[in-house]
A = this chain, B = another copy of it.
Amino acid sequence: MSYLPTARTSVHRLKKRAAYDKATVHAILDEGYICHIGFVVDAQPYVIPTLYGRDNDCLYFHGAMASRMLRTLASEVDVCVSVTLVDGLVLARSAFHHSLNYRSVVVLGKARFVSDAEEKMHALQLITDHAVPRRWAEVRGPNELELKQTSVLAMSLQEVSAKIRTGPPVDDDEDYSLPIWAGVLPLETHLGGAISDDRVLAQAPQPDLSRFTRFVVAKG
């Protein structure tokens, strides 16, 4: 199953880096947890980082009802959502061939304001559990006032492309004779030990950090 490339999502340069299949796209969206969402107000583009959740072919976002971003996006404007995972720095023998190993997804479309109470609660759970798996079941859920203060937006995954670079640098043939180190410097996000706030009760269970598959978790 793949997303159909459109004139706007077809990758024209470095085509071999492009992917449109759902498994690849979903894996990147699920490993990431911050997206950068782009929208236009008075001809000026804005790019704002935010959390998200995914339910099959639907992305969910939330934010304060009062925010410019949420008000703008809820008015069914064109948006772009970008999720980027950086896997390593690629050092070549020439400045020109330096690169990054990365996996990225770009989604184009319009956001839809979620007004249905059940879908809104479901989306809030997805967003919470996307950032912190299984957290929803551990915490106090939103009350009426909090729900009123929070907006939820949905965006359908239709115009979607992924771009992936992996592997070593690719240098020009004649440069391989240069005595310059070249290769990959891998990057990983590590989750350090949990820092309890000052008022955690003694009987509160410590958080299970093994829930985070997207991070390397500190031992002990």
A140 contacts B93, C-beta separation under 8 Å: yes
Chain A residue total in the interface (Cβ 8 A): 92
- Which residue of chain B has the shortest Cβ distance to A85 in the bound complex? B49
| Complex partner residue of A94 from B34, B140, B182, B188, CB under 8 angstroms | B140
* A193–B47 CA distance with the chains assembled, in angstroms: 33
Q: Digit string of A10-46 for contact with B (CB within 8 Å is 1, else 0)?
A: 0011000000000000000000001011111001111
Kindly state whether residue A1 has any CB partner on chain B within 8 Å.
no
* A41–B150 CA distance with the chains assembled, in angstroms: 31
Contacting chain B: which of A53-61, A64-72, A112-120? A64-72
Assuming the A-B contacts A68-B12, A95-B128, A135-B98, are A49 and B185 also in contact, with contact meaning beta carbons closer than 8 angstroms in the complex? no
Minimum CB–CB distance from A131 to chain B (whole Å) comes to 6
B150 contacts A96, C-beta separation under 8 Å: yes
Kindly state whether residue A142 has any CB partner on chain B within 8 Å.
yes
Chain B residues whose CB sits within 8 angstroms of the CB of A68 once the complex forms: 12
Kindly state whether residue A86 has any CB partner on chain B within 8 Å.
yes
Q: Digit string of A140-183 for contact with B (CB within 8 Å is 1, else 0)?
A: 11110010001000000000000000001100000111111111
B44 contacts A45, C-beta separation under 8 Å: no
Chain B residues whose CB sits within 8 angstroms of the CB of A86 once the complex forms: 34
* A93–B168 CA distance with the chains assembled, in angstroms: 45
Assuming the A-B contacts A43-B78, A78-B45, A204-B181, are A175 and B140 also in contact, with contact meaning beta carbons closer than 8 angstroms in the complex? yes
A82 contacts B47, C-beta separation under 8 Å: yes
Q: Digit string of A90-127 for contact with B (CB within 8 Å is 1, else 0)?
A: 01111110101010101010000000000000001000
Residues of A within 8 A of B (CB): 8, 12-13, 34, 36-40, 43-49, 51, 64, 66-68, 78-82, 84, 86, 89, 91-96, 98, 100, 102, 104, 106, 108, 124, 128, 131-132, 135-136, 138-143, 146, 150, 168-169, 175-201, 203-207, 209, 215-216
